[in-house]
Amino acid sequence: MAAPAPIPPKTQFPLLEAELSRMAALVESQLQGAITAFERRDVTTAESLIANDARIDVFDRDIETKVMAALASQTLSIEAVREATTIMKLSGELERVGDLAKNVAKRTLVISREAPARPTLGVVRMGRASLRQFSDILNAYSARNLDAAFAVWGADDELDELYNSVFQEILAAMMEDSMQVNACTHLVFTAKNFERVGDHATNIAEAIHFLVTGSPIMEERPKGDETATTVVAPPRPSGSAN
């Protein structure tokens, strides 16, 4: 016998929740589209994504306005205040992920004019990993699932480690072939955008914890970004002694 469908958690702001859900779906679509456009060097799609970002900004402003009006117009329980402010916080996090997707699309316009650089595949892997984290945290929020939210929060250092690896690969490619410097520079920024998506997913996980429990996560946030101190040795000249 099939398990019954889970009962959606009750909300005191169904219209705001519905609007936030539509915004989240749009942002997720933008991020997916940015990864695909980057991988395929698809300028037409990248330009469309850049233009479409304005819709996300409209959602963010509208949700913020409605939350502030709700807070000002009625006496709310502490749970309702927590939910309203969480919705506004998540709207801001989603808007910033939308900006990151737009930035990837902008980099795609430049990278598509350059010869393909070897580290591109690593950056694509980063993009897909960031999308998985983002999708997982949206599902965790919809279900108010603390375990799922904490799993995303705890996995952020895995995306950081992937970023460290990709960053080193890009630096090595730049040293080996000066003709790839321009493309690789944009790859660094693109990879960083995907790493930042993971940071925003972690922020959302912390907001979910506060929404459900009323308290912040007390553990230290996992971080594994080591690129600030990364040094890659230049390749040895051909024929040099070991």
Tens of pLDDT, residue by residue over 128-169, are 999 999 999 999 999 999 999 999 999 988 999 999 999 999
Say yes or no to pLDDT of 8 above 90. no
Class for the domain spanning 14-226: mainly alpha
Euclidean distance between CA atoms 112 and 108, whole angstroms: 6
Give which of 154, 152, 51 is closest to 101, Cα–Cα.
Answer: 51
Tens of pLDDT, residue by residue over 67-78, are 999 999 878 899
Q: What is the pLDDT of residue 218?
A: 79
CB burial class (10 A; 0-12, 13-18, 19+) of residue 10? exposed
Length of the chain: 242
Percent of the chain with pLDDT over 70: 88
Give which of 208, 163, 156 is closest to 187, Cα–Cα.
Answer: 163
Tens of pLDDT, residue by residue over 160-200, are 999 999 999 999 999 999 899 999 999 999 999 999 999 99
**Better pLDDT: 240 or 144:** 144
> What are the helix (H) ranges across the chain?
14-40, 43-73, 78-111, 120-143, 146-154, 156-176, 181-213
Tokens of 27: 């942002």
Say yes or no to pLDDT of 222 above 80. no
Euclidean distance between CA atoms 153 and 231, whole angstroms: 28
Residue with tokens 């819709």: 55
Say yes or no to pLDDT of 229 above 60. no
